[in-house]
A and B are shown apart, each in its own frame.
Chain A
Amino acid sequence: MVRIGCGAGFGGDRLEPAVRLLEDGALDYLVLECLAERTIGLGQKRRMHDPASGYDPLLERRLRPLLPLLKEKGTRIVTNMGSANPLAAGRKIAGLAGELGLDITVAVVTGDDVLSVLDPEAPSMEDGRPLSSYGRILSANAYLGADAILPALQSGADVVITGRVADPSLVVAPLAHHFGWDLGDAARVGQGTVVGHLLECAGQITGGYFADPGRKDVPGLADLGFPFADVDADGNCVLGKVAGTGGLITAATVKEQLLYEVTDPTGYVTPDVIADFRSVRIAPLGPDRVEVSGGTGRNRPDTLKVSVGYHAGYVGEGEISYAGANALARARLAGEVLHQRLASQFPDLRVECLGGEAYRYGFLEGREPTREYRLRIVGRAQTQEIAEEIGREVEALLTNGPAGGGGARKYIQETVGIVSALLPRTKIAHQVTVMRSAS
């Protein structure tokens, strides 16, 4: 039996649940999954300005309370916080450990950055257009698998840090290492991938993103405990969390996470396996304890998915509120004014009315009027200067627009778009670099 916990499910996740897991969870491995699709593109841009950056901006804050506990608890960390610069992240961790007076080894997994070997004229998986036609390419990272992480674990390192790897591989690799699995054993790796997929979003399986008051009540959301899995040599597991933490684990929370972001439950493709979820069995054993077994799979694919980040311009955005008497008509008029002033400059412009079912419609179409509306206008531009026009026009409504508009806000965001391509495994070489803290 091996116990693997997940202490972060995305880059901005809460910091303290991982500390609680490490302190009281009796973990063998602590996984921190912090990499969203566009994170590496943004990291690559930071790295261009400063070659020592490009890794997860919360790396130090997240790891500082964890590193001193690793030896005492006998736990090893596996994380993808290396983002666009895993080697710099490794040096940062070794330096931080040294500063804390700790003797720690860090193994860095590289090889996911395939920008130099990717053909920019290759077709995208999304619509077959050449990758270069989307915009200036910023990054290209292959999803590495457990085979790339395994040598890092075999080095004995306390912390394994990667760039882009498939999320479930962060769990499959420690399982394969612990039990000596052959990575070609598709049945075991398939069930291991189920475990990884269940753990990778951390709180999303312990009652986070689940509560629907009156239907699905969750205790203690403000102090949500993060999950661990006790996994046996075949990959079957019992999910649990630290006693006394908030949240809950039930068959229902596990089912929601099992199907989360799965575009084909009969063939969930990772670099390790094509996993099949149709035979997965979910059995509650007691409070916050659920057994998951039966996942299987077919042989891994010959190609790896590459996530390509491209410059997608700047998005300018502004918001303003209208409430009380005739609020909807005033919000609508404000929207019309903004549209009139901006449409010629912004071919890609969207006006929404929050409070008026904005997520479905550009504008309310006559259902259940409320007493308060927030008008939102957003558009894309090639330069920041042009994108800023949108916020300025929204602010100008304060003295030029309909009566009673308030709470004007403006935002600018540089955007990185993502498209995907496939690359043969033979084009990708992964390496491990081991570093030791200087205490």
Chain B
Amino acid sequence: MSIRLHDIAHCRAGDKGNTSTLSVIAYDEAMYPLLCRALTAEAVKAHLSRNIEGEVTRYEMPNVGALQFVCRQALHSGVTTSLTIDPHGKCLSSELLEIEIPEA
């Protein structure tokens, strides 16, 4: 069985230059271990591969029941020079929430 990330977590996208930060926060901290198991840096990079060209680093934040993904070369050269409709990559947060992760 798989579960859609949107059902168990929320996400906010941030930007620094050409780096996108994506927080994934469990609604219920009891779901945090599942996030740690299933939502790897590789899974995030693969799901957002159309945009993320660089490395994805995952930080575990058990104190707030969240994972922080730091995605390099993810904003089409960066906020100030990107020609895309969404230079900040704000839409990446909702797109990440569409990912299906294995439940067990």
The chain A residues found within 8 Å of chain B, CB to CB, are 37-38, 126, 209-210, 212, 215-216, 252, 255-266, 277-282, 294, 312, 315, 348, 350, 352, 354, 358-361, 376, 378-380, 415-418, 420
Task: State whether A263 and B19 are in contact (beta carbons under 8 Å apart), knowing that A350-B84, A379-B83 are contacts in the complex.
Answer: yes
Residues in A with CB closer than 8 Å to B79 are 37, 418
- Contact partner of A259 (CB less than 8 A), chosen from B16, B27, B66, is B66
Per-residue A-contact encoding for B13-49, CB less than 8 Å = 1, 0 else: 0111111010101010000000000000000000000
The chain B residues found within 8 Å of chain A, CB to CB, are 6, 10, 12, 14-19, 21, 23, 25, 27, 50-51, 59, 61, 63-66, 68, 70, 78-81, 83-86, 89, 91, 95
Task: State whether A255 and B25 are in contact (beta carbons under 8 Å apart), knowing that A263-B19, A360-B50, A360-B51 are contacts in the complex.
Answer: yes
- From A262, A264, A312, name the one whose CB has the most chain B CB atoms within 10 angstroms: A262
CB–CB B80/A415 < 8 A: yes
Complex CA distance for A164 and B25, rounded to whole angstroms: 31
Shortest A316–chain B CB gap in Å is 10
For A259, give the chain B residue with the smallest CB separation.
Answer: B23
- Contact partner of B21 (CB less than 8 A), chosen from A212, A261, A348, A417, is A261
Residues in B with CB closer than 8 Å to A277 are 61
CB–CB A255/B23 < 8 A: yes
Residues in B with CB closer than 8 Å to A294 are 63
CB–CB B80/A358 < 8 A: no
CB–CB A262/B21 < 8 A: yes
Tell me how many residue pairs across A and B have CB atoms closer than 8 Å. 102
Shortest A198–chain B CB gap in Å is 12
Complex CA distance for A312 and B51, rounded to whole angstroms: 22
Shortest B92–chain A CB gap in Å is 8
Residues in A with CB closer than 8 Å to B27 are 252
CB–CB A359/B86 < 8 A: yes
CB–CB A281/B12 < 8 A: no
- Contact partner of A312 (CB less than 8 A), chosen from B12, B14, B81, B86, is B81
Residues in B with CB closer than 8 Å to A278 are 61, 63
CB–CB A256/B83 < 8 A: no
For A374, give the chain B residue with the smallest CB separation.
Answer: B85
Complex CA distance for A43 and B63, rounded to whole angstroms: 41
Shortest A382–chain B CB gap in Å is 14
Shortest A280–chain B CB gap in Å is 6
Shortest B72–chain A CB gap in Å is 9
Task: State whether A262 and B63 are in contact (beta carbons under 8 Å apart), knowing that A37-B79, A315-B83, A350-B84 are contacts in the complex.
Answer: no
Shortest B12–chain A CB gap in Å is 4
- Contact partner of B64 (CB less than 8 A), chosen from A37, A209, A255, is A255
Residues in A with CB closer than 8 Å to B61 are 259, 265, 277-278
CB–CB B63/A279 < 8 A: yes
For A313, give the chain B residue with the smallest CB separation.
Answer: B81
Complex CA distance for A215 and B89, rounded to whole angstroms: 22
- Contact partner of A215 (CB less than 8 A), chosen from B10, B21, B85, is B10
- Contact partner of A417 (CB less than 8 A), chosen from B14, B51, B68, B80, is B80
CB–CB B17/A348 < 8 A: no
Complex CA distance for A258 and B61, rounded to whole angstroms: 11
CB–CB B86/A265 < 8 A: no
Shortest A399–chain B CB gap in Å is 26
Task: State whether A262 and B50 are in contact (beta carbons under 8 Å apart), knowing that A37-B80, A358-B85, A380-B83 are contacts in the complex.
Answer: no
CB–CB A281/B63 < 8 A: yes
14 additional A-B residue pairs with CB within 8 Å, beyond A261-B14, A358-B84: A37-B80, A215-B6, A255-B64, A256-B23, A259-B14, A261-B16, A263-B16, A264-B70, A277-B61, A278-B61, A294-B63, A352-B84, A378-B83, A417-B80
CB–CB B63/A280 < 8 A: yes
